[in-house]
């Protein structure tokens, strides 16, 4: 009887508190909330809330910490959440004020996900964080074996036993299911799935009806059961570069994966392996070459007029595109495998994979009944590297996707431009042309939807507009395309405070993130640095509808569009310093594993990696990773002392029996060939590229450098002689004689190389150091005394020159965006410990300032295959994570505990020689003596809601605690604040009452 009366009284008290405004409503996300990247677990980029009509800029706020271009804003409960290179920020959606911030030393990996008032976000500090969405209070974190670069899925349904489960892949090769807030295994691994060869899961996954869809770096697609991790299916290896930045999209009974550009732009093998328009290098020029043979008028199909599903927009049957992507017939498969003799039947040039959810097979059709399979009829629209932007799914169940098609250029003339197309699975051979605009094919566009409206934003802060899914809905332009500057700068003056646009840049195509610091202390000239490396011409982020406004980040500023009064520019949100720790893994074991993968494979090809716009004439061998056989010799001999005995024997045999006779004796080659060896990374290469391999054998000389034979190879030869017993290798005299024949004396005196290519000078210094040490080992100091003197004199000259002329400034500023790709790394490529010590002692201030500036401007420098870059590219050079890591080890002499924070995972499944050298540098680094943090697999026991005194019971004692703190602004269950919103009120009483026992 007493309990019944008490409960009646409690309900009465609650009602009084509620209507008096003392209860804080606990919000749950709805279909109108863009609560994660891609809006929802299916990643359809659609929410129910439509924001239409004329909008103005209500407020805008620059952010100092870098916001990666593919990171989407997330909206919930009138707050905007943004992940950056220095932490997570929550802003008030009405005015841009900071509600809370969660600062991190290392960058966050992707957008956060909000579920039941909890924010889940992963970072490159290996941690998945769970935070209070209202206050930013840390609930718990889970540490994995590597960084998180994916946006989390958070699911709670019958397939997860109605328990909150966080589903996210990690760069350590595991796909994790981690207990979410309130789960019996909160913050702990519920299950994990390991990809073949422990390939990294670097992209975000999608979800529907108990199945998780994901892709891994091994170019396979996976379907896993959310409740158990059991494999439903996985596909074979797909064509293209490894998938990055985005996610698959679940649509009807299909799942759509976007391709990553498979041709190295401007290189051979690469785009130059294809038939191409004269004097052109981009992939789209190969498409145009083919189209011109069958459609010289640029008309790619037939206009069928509107159909019932197209919302009044014209529907086209793109017959030329359909034939272009159709599978080759039997004769073509035998006689023209690479498709160089025909303008069509090239299915490997598809841009999206449409996969059946039921079995993992690719969806194809045959609309013309010729017995040849057809694919989704869309063609290239994007930059030269990186992933295709994911499509969106409208409320009408039509897939909206970026493609290129015929558009009028004048009376009776046509051209091929980028458009938004609608695709209906019931008529797969057709597309509708949704919207009225068209764009250049190499200017990528973002796409999102709210209600019945499609929101678009073109790269580089160019034109922004929206269209209805029905042609009767008016198109809205938020700002127009200007060839000089951008219209947005007129609507939001100074929004790009963290950006620098070079003089003469057309439509902001040459500009970079520069942050808030002025490295010259001359802010009046507008130039803070010459070393920016991130532009916005690659991956993109879209408009986010929320509470009657549209939000987007452009040039590192959050911009809010709405109908309210303009509040203008808000003060920029500054970076705050933070420190973190990363558990030290078994580095020697990891090293042994990496070495074993190389030995087991045999000889390897150079590293095939498409980083977009480049210039091989400018950079010589740099863009073709590990083409120098000396790189293999260097990495393996440096690793040798740290290997187990079995691997030591294997490495010695591998080098003596395979590498040495192939590349060093009797002839020393400066470049490996593409015609020999195995691929470093599992991917299906385009047939034109594979067929072109045979045309590129190993080479005696290297072009584009201060030497014809890589001088740092002499350093590798020294390490070969010094680290591996003579009984297991060529004699020391044989090695020395080779080095003697290749040493370049004198070295260059051309200031061009010191200014433009200081890495060539680093190479020469490494070579001289190695040669002198090798000469000593060989006992040839007296015999070749004159040579020794000459080498020593040249070494001293170069060292003095290197220290005195050391400059952190970009040699290409402000004219050549392509050359900026190597600004972060160029001073430290081919760095050795000896040169590191010299620079630390003789150019201390200059080197320290350079490293500080480079790390500030490129907060993601240590992330391999990072999806932001300079120029018209989607991925940055791999030299960054190697060169700066060695600089931190060899110049700054940072301890192991600091270095491992920046130790990412291999960029290739096997044979990433940069990663191997980073491992060696970390192993050889001194420890600072601090206790090594351990991975906590079992977090603090889950709090029992309503339990204030921690006795694991919810009873009258907890009620007394709640009552004694009522209306106080205090936090934590111990004060009666059971929902952790910073105030003790009726909402907390309801929690106590619900759990009373």
pLDDT digits (tens, 9 = 90+) for 32-86: 899 999 999 999 999 999 999 999 999 999 999 999 999 999 999 999 999 999 9
pLDDT band at 16 (very low <50, low <70, confident <90, very high): very low
Query: For the ranges 51-55, 121-125, 632-636, 932-936, which has the lowest average pLDDT?
Result: 932-936
Residue 757 contacts residue 706 (beta carbons within 8 Å): yes
Greatest extent of the chain over all pairs of C-alpha atoms, in Å: 107
> Span 405-424, mean pLDDT?
91
Residues 876-907 have pLDDT tens digits of 999 999 999 999 999 999 999 999 999 999 99
**Alpha carbon distance 721, 634 (integer Å):** 11
Residue 80 in any domain: the answer is: yes
**Alpha carbon distance 385, 609 (integer Å):** 9
pLDDT band at 938 (very low <50, low <70, confident <90, very high): very low
- pLDDT confidence of residue 818: 65
Closest CA to 49 of 82, 75, 81, 79: 75
Residue 288 contacts residue 345 (beta carbons within 8 Å): no
**CB burial string 527-558: b at 16+ within 10 A, e below:** bbbbbbbbbbbbbbbbbbbbbbbbbbbbbbbb
- pLDDT confidence of residue 960: 76
**Alpha carbon distance 889, 851 (integer Å):** 12
- Asked whether residue 988 falls in the same domain as residue 893, the answer is no
Q: What are phi and psi of 651, to 5 degrees?
A: -65, -45
- Asked whether residue 649 falls in the same domain as residue 694, the answer is yes
DSSP 893: -
Residue with tokens 């001999």: 637
Q: Pairing mode, if any, of strands 56-62 and 568-569?
A: parallel
**CB burial string 303-334: b at 16+ within 10 A, e below:** eeeeeebbbebebbbbbbbbbbbbbbeeebee
DSSP 158: G
Cβ atoms within 10 Å of 765's Cβ, excluding its own: 26
Residue 455 in any domain: the answer is: no
- pLDDT confidence of residue 992: 76
Cβ atoms within 10 Å of 858's Cβ, excluding its own: 25
- Asked whether residue 370 falls in the same domain as residue 244, the answer is no
Residue 484 in any domain: the answer is: no
Residue 623 in any domain: the answer is: yes
**Nearest 10 degrees: CA dihedral of 965, 971, 974, 977?**
60
For the chain, the domain total comes to 4
Assess whether pLDDT exceeds 70 at residue 812: yes
In terms of Cβ atoms closer than 10 Å to its own Cβ (0-12, 13-18, 19+), residue 521 is exposed
Assess whether pLDDT exceeds 50 at residue 26: no
Element (H, E) at 476: strand 476-479
Query: For the ranges 15-29, 509-523, 896-910, which has the lowest average pLDDT?
Result: 15-29
- pLDDT confidence of residue 816: 64
Cβ atoms within 10 Å of 281's Cβ, excluding its own: 21
Residue 493 in any domain: the answer is: no
Residue 624 contacts residue 606 (beta carbons within 8 Å): yes
Indicate yes or no: pTM above 0.75: yes
- pLDDT confidence of residue 763: 98
Alpha helical stretches, state H, 132-214: none
Provide the strand spans (E) within 283-430.
302-306, 314-317, 352-356, 392-393, 399-410, 413-423
Structure tokens at 922: 């970390």
The total number of residues written for the chain in this structure: 997
> Span 284-303, mean pLDDT?
93
Residue 115 contacts residue 164 (beta carbons within 8 Å): yes
Residue 713 contacts residue 767 (beta carbons within 8 Å): yes
**Alpha carbon distance 799, 834 (integer Å):** 10
- Asked whether residue 245 falls in the same domain as residue 275, the answer is no
- Asked whether residue 304 falls in the same domain as residue 172, the answer is no
Residues 352-372 have pLDDT tens digits of 999 999 999 999 999 999 999
Give 907 or 752, the one with higher predicted confidence: 907
**Alpha carbon distance 214, 234 (integer Å):** 9
- Asked whether residue 873 falls in the same domain as residue 952, the answer is no
Alpha-carbon distance values, 734 to 378, 668, 720, 740, 742 (Å): 58, 12, 12, 10, 13
Residues contacting 100, CB < 8 A, separation 6+? 89, 90, 135, 136
pLDDT band at 950 (very low <50, low <70, confident <90, very high): low
Q: What are phi and psi of 323, to 5 degrees?
A: -70, -30
Residue 460 in any domain: the answer is: no
List beta partners, residue 420. 402, 434
Q: Report the CATH number at residue 872.
A: 1.50.10
Closest CA to 738 of 706, 719, 714: 714
Last residue of a domain, one of 226, 257, 288: 257
Residue 826 in any domain: the answer is: yes
**Alpha carbon distance 853, 177 (integer Å):** 38
**Nearest 10 degrees: CA dihedral of 947, 951, 957, 958?**
-10
- Asked whether residue 154 falls in the same domain as residue 287, the answer is no
Residue 49 contacts residue 451 (beta carbons within 8 Å): yes
Alpha-carbon distance values, 903 to 592, 818, 948, 957 (Å): 16, 27, 42, 50
Residue 352 contacts residue 331 (beta carbons within 8 Å): no
Give 29 or 686, the one with higher predicted confidence: 686
- Asked whether residue 780 falls in the same domain as residue 868, the answer is yes
Residue 614 contacts residue 267 (beta carbons within 8 Å): yes
Cβ atoms within 10 Å of 741's Cβ, excluding its own: 9
Q: Estimate the crossing angle of helix 645-654 against helix 629-639, to 10 degrees.
A: 160
DSSP 658: I
Q: Three-class SS string for 614-647?
A: CCHHHHCCCCCECCCHHHHHHHHHHHHHHCCHHH
Residue 824 in any domain: the answer is: yes
- Asked whether residue 171 falls in the same domain as residue 139, the answer is yes
Alpha-carbon distance values, 273 to 47, 196, 281, 339 (Å): 43, 31, 10, 11
**Alpha carbon distance 552, 458 (integer Å):** 12
Structure tokens at 319: 């017959």
Cβ atoms within 10 Å of 568's Cβ, excluding its own: 12
Q: Report the CATH number at residue 136.
A: 2.130.10.10
Alpha helical stretches, state H, 467-586: 488-491
Query: For the ranges 68-77, 309-318, 608-617, 858-867, which has the lowest average pLDDT?
Result: 608-617
Task: Measure CA of the first residue to CA of the last residue in the chain; give whole Å.
Answer: 15
Last residue of a domain, one of 443, 468, 487: 443
> Span 385-413, mean pLDDT?
93
**Alpha carbon distance 199, 9 (integer Å):** 59
pLDDT band at 948 (very low <50, low <70, confident <90, very high): confident
Query: For the ranges 4-18, 189-203, 718-732, which has the lowest average pLDDT?
Result: 4-18
**Alpha carbon distance 703, 753 (integer Å):** 13
Above pLDDT 70, what percent of the chain? Answer: 92
- pLDDT confidence of residue 982: 66
Closest CA to 573 of 102, 120, 127: 102
- Asked whether residue 198 falls in the same domain as residue 329, the answer is no
Residues 441-477 have pLDDT tens digits of 999 999 999 999 999 999 999 999 999 999 999 999 9
Task: Write out the DSSP string of 9-67.
Answer: HHHHHHHHHHHTT-PPP-----TT---STTSSTT---EES----S--EEEEEEEBSS--
Alpha-carbon distance values, 454 to 94, 402, 475 (Å): 23, 12, 9
Last residue of a domain, one of 257, 284, 317: 257
- Asked whether residue 656 falls in the same domain as residue 791, the answer is yes
- Asked whether residue 11 falls in the same domain as residue 142, the answer is no
Give the range of the structural domain holding residue 346, as residue numbers without chain letter: 269-385+390-443
Residues 259-278 have pLDDT tens digits of 999 999 988 999 999 998 87
Residue 433 contacts residue 316 (beta carbons within 8 Å): yes
């Amino acid at each position: 009887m007493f309990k019944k009366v008490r409960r009646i009284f409690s309900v009465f008290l609650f009602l009084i508190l509620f209507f008096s405004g003392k209860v804080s409503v606990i919000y749950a996300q709805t279909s109108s909330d863009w609560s994660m990247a891609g809006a929802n677990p299916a990643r359809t980029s659609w929410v129910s809330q439509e924001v239409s009509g004329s909008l103005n800029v209500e407020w805008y706020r620059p952010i100092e910490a870098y916001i990666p271009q593919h990171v989407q804003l997330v909206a919930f409960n009138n707050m905007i959440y943004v992940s950056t290179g220095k932490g997570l920020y929550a802003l008030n959606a009405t005015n841009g004020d900071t509600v809370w911030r969660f600062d991190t030393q290392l960058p966050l990996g992707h957008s956060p996900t909000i579920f039941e008032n909890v924010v889940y976000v992963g970072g490159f500090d290996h941690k998945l964080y769970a935070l209070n969405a209202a206050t930013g209070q840390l609930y718990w974190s889970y540490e994995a074996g590597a960084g998180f670069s994916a946006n989390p899925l958070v699911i709670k349904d019958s397939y997860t036993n109605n328990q909150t489960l966080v589903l996210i892949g990690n760069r350590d090769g595991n796909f994790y299911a981690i207990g979410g807030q309130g789960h019996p295994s909160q913050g702990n691994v519920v299950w994990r799935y390991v990809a073949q060869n422990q390939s990294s899961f670097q992209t975000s996954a999608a979800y529907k009806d108990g199945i998780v869809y994901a892709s891994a770096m091994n170019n396979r697609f996976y379907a896993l059961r959310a409740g158990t991790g059991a494999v439903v299916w996985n596909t074979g290896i797909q064509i293209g570069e490894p998938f990055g930045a985005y996610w698959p999209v679940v649509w009807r009974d299909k799942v759509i994966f976007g391709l990553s550009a498979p041709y190295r732009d401007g290189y051979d093998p690469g785009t130059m392996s294809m038939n191409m328009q004269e004097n052109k290098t981009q992939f789209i020029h190969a498409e145009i070459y083919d189209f011109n043979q069958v459609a010289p008028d640029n008309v790619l199909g037939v206009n069928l007029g509107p159909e019932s599903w197209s919302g009044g927009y014209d529907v086209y049957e793109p017959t030329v595109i359909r034939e272009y992507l159709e599978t080759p017939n039997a004769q073509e498969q035998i006689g023209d495998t690479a498709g160089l003799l025909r303008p069509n039947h090239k299915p490997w040039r598809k841009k999206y994979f449409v996969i059946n959810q039921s079995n993992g097979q690719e969806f194809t059709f045959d609309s013309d009944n010729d017995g040849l399979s057809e694919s989704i009829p869309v063609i290239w629209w994007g930059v030269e590297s990186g992933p295709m932007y994911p499509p969106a799914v409208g409320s009408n169940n039509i897939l909206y996707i970026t493609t290129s098609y015929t558009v009028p250029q004048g009376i009776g003339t046509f051209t091929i431009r980028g458009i938004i197309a609608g695709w209906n699975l019931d008529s797969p051979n057709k597309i509708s042309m949704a919207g009225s605009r068209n764009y250049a094919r190499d200017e990528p566009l973002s796409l999102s939807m709210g209600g019945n409206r499609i929101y678009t934003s073109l790269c580089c802060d160019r034109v922004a507009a929206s269209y209805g899914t029905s042609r009767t809905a008016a198109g809205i332009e938020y700002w127009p395309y200007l060839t000089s500057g951008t219209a947005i700068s007129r609507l939001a003056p100074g929004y790009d405070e963290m950006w620098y646009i070079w003089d003469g840049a057309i439509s902001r195509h040459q500009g970079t993130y520069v942050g808030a610091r002025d490295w010259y202390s001359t802010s009046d000239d507008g130039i803070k640095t010459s070393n920016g490396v991130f532009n916005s011409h690659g991956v993109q982020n879209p408009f986010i509808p929320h509470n009657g406004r549209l939000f987007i980040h452009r040039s590192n500023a959050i911009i809010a569009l709405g109908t309210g009064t303009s509040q203008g520019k808000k003060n920029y949100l500054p970076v705050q310093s933070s420190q973190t720790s990363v558990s030290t893994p078994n580095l020697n074991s990891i090293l042994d594993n990496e070495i074993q993968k190389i030995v087991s494979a045999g000889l390897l090809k150079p590293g095939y990696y498409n980083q977009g716009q480049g210039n091989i004439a400018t950079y010589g061998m740099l863009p073709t990773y590990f083409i120098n056989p000396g790189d293999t010799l260097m990495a393996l001999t440096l690793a040798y002392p740290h290997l187990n005995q079995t691997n030591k024997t294997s490495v010695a045999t591998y080098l003596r029996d395979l590498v040495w006779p192939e590349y060093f004796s009797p002839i020393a080659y400066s470049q490996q060939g593409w015609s020999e060896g195995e691929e470093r990374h599992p991917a299906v290469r385009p047939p034109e590229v594979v067929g072109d391999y045979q045309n590129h054998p190993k080479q005696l000389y290297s072009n584009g450098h201060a030497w014809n034979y890589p001088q740092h190879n002499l350093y590798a030869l020294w390490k070969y002689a010094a680290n591996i017993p003579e009984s297991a290798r060529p004699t020391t005299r044989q090695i020395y004689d080779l080095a003697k024949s290749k040493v370049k004396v004198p070295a260059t005196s051309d200031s061009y190389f010191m200014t433009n290519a200081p890495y060539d000078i680093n190479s020469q210094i490494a070579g001289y150091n190695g040669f002198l040490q090798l000469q000593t080992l060989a006992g040839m100091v007296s015999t070749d005394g004159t040579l020794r003197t000459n080498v020593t004199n040249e070494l001293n000259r170069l060292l003095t020159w290197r220290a005195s002329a050391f400059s952190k400034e970009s040699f290409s500023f402000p004219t050549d965006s392509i050359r900026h790709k190597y600004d972060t790394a160029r001073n430290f490529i081919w760095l050795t410990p000896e040169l590191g010590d010299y620079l630390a002692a003789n150019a201390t201030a200059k080197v320290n300032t350079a490293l500080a500036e480079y790390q500030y401007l490129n907060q993601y420098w240590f992330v391999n295959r990072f999806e932001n870059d300079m120029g018209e590219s989607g991925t940055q050079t791999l030299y960054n994570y190697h060169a700066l890591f060695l600089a931190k080890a060899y110049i700054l002499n940072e301890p192991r505990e600091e270095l491992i924070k920046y130790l990412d995972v291999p960029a290739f499944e096997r044979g990433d020689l940069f990663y191997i050298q980073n491992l060696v540098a970390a192993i050889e680094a001194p420890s600072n003596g601090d206790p090594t943090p351990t991975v906590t697999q079992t977090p603090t026991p889950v709090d029992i809601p309503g339990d204030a005194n921690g006795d694991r019971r919810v009873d009258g004692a907890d009620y007394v605690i709640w009552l004694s703190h009522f209306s106080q602004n205090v936090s934590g269950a111990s004060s009666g604040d059971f929902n952790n919103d910073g105030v003790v009120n009726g909402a907390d009483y309801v929690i106590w009452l619900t759990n009373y026992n």
